[in-house]
Amino acid sequence: MLNRKFELQKLLAPAVLVILYVFFSIFGTNFFSTDYLMNILNASYFIGFMAIGVTFVIITGGIDLSLGTTMMCGALLGATAYTNWGWNIWASLAFCVFVATVIGGINGALIAYLRLPPFIATLGMQMIGMGFGAIVTKVVTKRFPTIGTPDAAFKYVFYKSSNTALIPGFPTGALWLAGAFILAYMLLNHTKFGRYTYALGSNYEAARLSGINVKKWQLLIYTFCGFFSGLAGIFYAAVYTSVIPSTGNGMELLAIAGVVIGGTSMSGGSGSLMGTIIGVFVMSVLKQGLMSMGLQGHWQTFFTGIVVIGAVLLDQYRLKKATQIKRV
């Protein structure tokens, strides 16, 4: 009986996604339309990449509160390289990923080797990333190429196809997100990297005593998370073009909430990327659905906070039920 209840909990995230979509289709304005579907996809790209990376971190029992500002810092420095330093667009995008990966590596070093609690280390890096991006850009909004300019090709690659393509306006970003999901899924479920990720979260000390170099793998996992935050920065730039300094804090909550809604335990040791992707779409549908009802940004923030609290409470409930099943 308990096993059946536990299995039913795995269907909760897909059920919530369907219920939200039906609700906003009924009570929202034009929510059940192509435009809103595209908006949901657009919002899911950067949240999705951040969520994939932080899934690995949360499975280890850690947390990364610097996701949002890491993404924005990478995007800001990439845009600065393009607009101020004369770099070509592809080198600038690579630099965006590099910056975010370095920040992820610093997070990992602080946690693995200096033994700082993940909450404190990543909260500190959140502030550092936000401040560093503002310092380098001199608090000036940076812009990536827009459609119609010579370097607009990157938008066609990472956002949507051109009007002259075989399928005009095709959401190419969705293909990239699907590809990243498949690669991360294989990494988590079929490689040593994934096995050690689960091992660290299940029992850190037992993993260490079994011969796993826990510090090395913890460093690599946080670096991996930073890498995906850098990828998120590319897709944020492709969709929204403008990158504003001193922003990004709070975006990590969308990714973390999506991960927890998808079934990954904040206590570590369990989780799935399929659940994460479903959770990401729950957050995107919620955001766009509230907009379709005419609610302003502060209402969106309010309900996002409620969802975050609800997701953590759900995680505690799942953990309690899992403990009961083990005892049986």
- Is 118 inside any structural domain? yes
- Is 323 inside any structural domain? no
> pLDDT of 153-201, one tens digit each?
999 999 988 877 778 888 999 999 999 999 999 999 999 999 999 999 9
- pLDDT-derived band at 324, boundaries 50, 70, 90: low
Domain count, the chain: 1
Looking at the chain, the whole-number percentage of residues with pLDDT higher than 90 is 60
Rounded Cα distance, 148 and 246, in Å: 28
- Is 328 inside any structural domain? no
Rounded Cα distance, 72 and 136, in Å: 12
- Higher pLDDT pick, 160 / 318: 160
- Is 6 inside any structural domain? no
Looking at the chain, the whole-number percentage of residues with pLDDT higher than 70 is 94
pLDDT of the residue at 328: 55
pLDDT of the residue at 166: 79
In a 3-state reduction of DSSP, which class is residue 243?
strand
Give alpha helix (H) positions in the chain. 2-9, 12-27, 34-59, 67-83, 89-112, 118-137, 153-158, 172-190, 192-202, 204-209, 214-240, 251-261, 273-292, 297-327
The structure tokens 């219920």 sit at: 19
- Is 4 inside any structural domain? no
- pLDDT-derived band at 214, boundaries 50, 70, 90: very high
pLDDT of the residue at 66: 96
- The enclosing domain of 57 has a CATH number of 1.10.3470
- The H-or-E segment that residue 143 falls in is strand 142-143
Q: Which residues span the domain enclosing 28?
A: 16-317
- Is 82 inside any structural domain? yes
pTM comes to: 0.92
- Is 51 inside any structural domain? yes
- Is 3 inside any structural domain? no
Q: How many CB atoms lie within 10 A of CB 95?
A: 20
pLDDT of the residue at 261: 86
> pLDDT of 27-66, one tens digit each?
888 887 888 888 899 889 999 999 999 999 999 999 999 9
